[in-house]
Amino acid sequence: MGAALEIDHVSHKFGGFQALSDVSLSVPRGSFTALLGVNGAGKTTLFSLITRLYDNTSGRISVAGHDLRRTPGAALARLGVVFQSRALDADLTVAQNLTYHAALHGIPRRQALIRAAEVLAQVGLSDRLHSRVSALSGGQTRRAEIARALIHRPEILLLDEPTVGLDVKSRAEVVALTRQLTAQGVSALWATHILDEIRPEDGLVILHQGRVLADGMAGEIGGGDLTRRFLTLTEGAA
């Protein structure tokens, strides 16, 4: 079995600005891999290429063995995404949001309602199926967005700064939930600028100014002090 996500020598420009330079990384199946970088490092640009919001004109991106340019439908069907910006319609119920997203993936309404109940149980929101999104807390909304990303049973989740704007308790719950999902077999690429969300046993890719500065196990890269190592790497690359 190959990796859940493979990125090989991907670069991207906005006009004359080089947003990504020869980026390569791999997310093993069933793993929690952190993509660490300050704001502006290129994390969101990379996610936009993986989700085809932008077209990758250099290098190769593969999702669960499916080339994103050659077979985009098969690749995107195996991808679940939690964007940094809120993606749910606050005026609709959680069920309405989930069934609408399921319809985009060709899932019939009856089956979508069954799956909605399943994924809400996974994220601890079984009692919120018929609640309006506007009635949810920030942490509950994030968990509902994760449920939305799971409804078509993807093999990998992309999470772009998913804890931004959350309080400490809600942040910890969202991190713990994502780790629980990886233990159940879903892979996760977790983009963040918050170092204490990363454990030594996690995969880690440090991205800075569009370049990969380190790629490996977080404990090995950090050597007991990930903060100091991160600062040393990024200051040296400035």
pLDDT of residue 163: 95
pLDDT of residue 17: 92
What CATH number should be reported for the domain whose range is 5-78+154-237?
A: 3.40.50.300
> What are the residues facing 81 on neighbouring strands?
158
Rounded to whole angstroms, the Cα distance separating 161 from 73 reads: 25
Alpha-carbon dihedral sign for residues 231, 30, 86, 173: negative
pLDDT of residue 45: 95
pLDDT of residue 85: 84
Rounded to whole angstroms, the Cα distance separating 200 from 6 reads: 22
Q: Where are the domains of the chain?
A: 5-78+154-237, 88-153
Residue 182 has a CB neighbour count (10 Å cut-off) of 19
pLDDT of residue 238: 60
CA-nearest of 176, 222, 172, 194 to 43 is 194
pTM for the full predicted model: 0.94
Rounded to whole angstroms, the Cα distance separating 197 from 82 reads: 17
pLDDT of residue 236: 77
If DSSP codes are grouped into helix, strand and coil, which group holds residue 20?
A: strand
Q: pLDDT tens track of the chain, all 238 residues?
A: 579 999 999 999 998 899 999 999 999 999 999 999 998 899 999 999 999 999 888 999 999 999 999 999 999 999 999 988 888 999 999 999 999 999 999 999 999 999 999 999 999 999 999 999 999 999 999 999 999 999 999 999 999 999 999 999 999 999 999 999 999 999 999 999 999 999 999 999 999 999 999 999 999 999 989 999 999 999 977 6
pLDDT of residue 84: 85
pLDDT of residue 188: 98
- Cα 151 from chain centre: 15
Q: Where are the beta strands (DSSP E) in the chain?
A: 5-14, 17-27, 32-36, 60-63, 66-67, 79-82, 156-160, 187-192, 203-208, 211-217
